[in-house]
Amino acid sequence: MASPHSSSTAFGPSAEALRMRPNAIRALAALIGRPELISFAGGVPSPATFPRAQIAEIASRLILDEGDRVLQYASTRGNARLAGAVVDRMRRAGVAWASREGTILTSGSQQGLDLVARVLVDPGDVVFVELPSYIGGLAALWAAGAELVGFGLGSDGPDLGALEARVGETLRAGKRPRAIHTIPTFQNPSGITAGGEARANLLELARRHDLVIIEDDPYSEVYFGEEGKPPPPIAALAGARERVVYLGSFSKVLCPGLRAAWVAGDPDLCARLELAKEAADLCSSTLDHAIVAEMVDGGMVDGRLPAIREFYGERCRAMLEALERDAPEGSTWTRPTGGLFIWVTLPERVDAGARLHAAVEAGVAFVPGAPFFVDGGGSNTLRLAFSKEDPRRIAEGMATLLKIFAE
C-alpha cells in the first residue's frame, strides 16, 4: 500500500484492516474491463434486462408526489411496503416462518453478508465456504476475522463427506466451527445447484455441529424453463428457522444499481442486524427502496421474470453448445439450469490464468478460477459469465477462447 503521497504513520491500519484482502478479480479490471472485448468476465446482469421506462416513470412520480418521504432519511429497517413484499416472496418460496420482524432490508446482499458476518463471527471462528465460492462473501467473512476453510462442490452440491472432515479437523485443532456459507442455487462462480437431498443433509450436518447456515441466494428466480426450477431454499426445510439466515436480492431480477436486498432470519438476530446497520449507514437509499417497492409490490418484477429467464437461458444454451462443439479434450464444465455462470475445468496441466493475456489479445475476456478458491486450488479452472454478450457474440468469443485453451 506504499504511496508517494503518504508521509505519516498516524493512519496505521487496525487488525481488521489488515485482514481485508484485495479482490483478485477487481485487480484484473484494467485487463478484462476493456470495452472492446467480448466479455465472459463480469458477473453482472445485462442492462438489456433493466426496465428503464418503468423505473424512470416511477422515480419521477415518487420524487414529485412523495419527495418529502423518498428524499428524506428512512428508518434503518427500511421501506415497510418493500419489507411486506419480501415476506410474501419468502412465504411463496416455502419459508413459512418469514415475518416482518425477521426481515432487514439492505443496500445489496453484500451489505447483508457484511452485517451477518459482523454480528455472528468472532475473530478466529471458522466459517466453511464452498470451493469455489463468491469472492464478495469471502471478503465480508475475512473482514470479520473468520478463518475460512473450504469444502468441495460436486455436481449435486456440497461434498458433505469433505465438509464433515473439515469440521472434525477444526474441532481437533481447538477452533470454533461457527457457520457454513453456501450459495445453493446456480452458484457463483460454478453454476452448480444443490439438490433437495443435499440441502436436507447440509442442514442436518449444521444441526449436528450447531452451525449457522448463511444461505446466499441471489439467483434462484433466474431459472431456465420449468425443468430448471430449483428445489426450495434451505430456509424452507423443517428446522431451518433455528439456524439458517437467508439472503435474497433484487439485483438480478430488476437491476443492481438500485441497491436493494434483504436478510431473513431469526427476529432476535434481525434486531442485532438492525443495530449493526444503524452503525453502518443509518439507512439505505430511500429513493432506491421506494422505487423497488413499487416495482415489486406492483407485480412488475414478477411480470418480467419469464422474459429474463428466456433472455439468460438462450445465452446459456449458446455457450453450452460452443463448449460441446469445441472444448479441448479432457475438459469438463457445469450445465447450469439458471443463473449467470458456467464453470470450466481444463485438463490439470493447463493454467487458466496463464492464458488470460493471450485471450484478451485475441479479444475475449474471462475470469481465472483460482481466486475463487480459499485453499489455493483451481488453477486449471475458469468462470464464464454468459450474461453480457448476445448468442452470436458468445459463439464467436467461445470459438476464439477454446482455440486458445486447446493450444
Q: Report the site for a copy of itself in 223-262 (rule: CB under 8 A).
A: 241-243, 245, 255-259
| Cβ–Cβ < 8 Å for 230, 223 | yes
- Alpha carbons 220 and 193: distance in angstroms, whole number: 9
Q: Does 166 bind a copy of itself (CB under 8 A)?
A: no
- Alpha carbons 41 and 92: distance in angstroms, whole number: 33
- Alpha carbons 178 and 209: distance in angstroms, whole number: 9
Q: Does 203 bind a copy of itself (CB under 8 A)?
A: no
Number of residues forming the site for a copy of itself (CB under 8 A): 94
Q: Does 74 bind a copy of itself (CB under 8 A)?
A: yes
Q: Is the dihedral of CA 251, 79, 140, 218 positive or negative?
A: negative
Cell 438492525 appears where? 274
Closest approach, Cβ 208 to a copy of itself, in A, equals 12
Closest approach, Cβ 358 to a copy of itself, in A, equals 27
Residue with Cβ nearer a copy of itself (257 or 347): 257
| Cβ–Cβ < 8 Å for 148, 130 | no
Residue with Cβ nearer a copy of itself (85 or 98): 98
Residue with Cβ nearer a copy of itself (43 or 231): 43
Residue among 178, 215, 173 at smallest CA distance from 198: 215
Closest approach, Cβ 87 to a copy of itself, in A, equals 14
Part in contact with a copy of itself (CB under 8 A); list of ranges 64-72, 294-302, 313-321, 370-378: 64-72
x/- letters, 1..40, toward a copy of itself (CB under 8 A): xxx-xxxxxxxxxxxxx--xxxx--x--------------
Where in 281-310 is the site for a copy of itself (CB under 8 A)?
A: 281-288
Bridge partners (DSSP) listed for residue 152: 131
Part in contact with a copy of itself (CB under 8 A); list of ranges 109-117, 220-228, 325-333, 372-380: 109-117
Question: CB-side exposure of 398: number of CA atoms within 13 Å?
Answer: 27
- Edge-to-edge strands of the sheet including 367-368? 332-333, 341-345, 381-385, 367-368
Q: Does 133 bind a copy of itself (CB under 8 A)?
A: no
